Amino acid sequence: MTAAGEPAPIACSLDAGSVADRMEEWRTFVASSVVAMDADATSVHLSLDDSPGALVAAASLGQREARCCAFFDVAIDLRPDGRSLSLRVPRSAEEALAAFVAQLTP
């Protein structure tokens, strides 16, 4: 949501080169810190390994993604049996999320 209560536009503020760099960061993060991934039309949940680095990387990437793609709702869930990073989008952004998820693995 924007400050005026309007839905955030379905757009990314990064330029093409920065998008490529960010996606490479996401792929590296998934390969090194994610033990399971579950996606549907409006969300992707990444189960993190138990390392401190995984949690730090999830927080950093999640926060930066929320800054450039304000339509993403980003959350970290901490439970006794695990932790995860979740990204959710409105129905109007299903296509954008599908493209994002498709790029998470090589």
Q: What is the mean pLDDT of each run of 10 residues along the chain (106 residues)?
A: 69 92 96 97 97 96 95 96 96 95 90
pLDDT score at 5: 67
Find out if CATH 2.60.120 is the number for domain 16-102.
no
Residue boundaries of the structural domains of the chain: 16-102
Residue 58 sits at φ, ψ, to 5 deg, of: -60, -45
pLDDT at position 105: 84
Nearby residues of 35 by Cβ (< 8 Å), 6 or more positions away: 47, 48, 49
Token pair for 89: 């989008």
Quote the pLDDT of residue 49.
97
**Order of all β-strands in the sheet with 82-88:** 34-39, 43-48, 82-88, 73-79
Positive/negative CA dihedral, 75, 80, 83, 86: negative
Question: In sequence order, which residues have a C-beta less than 8 Å from that of residue 81 and are 6 or more positions away?
Answer: none
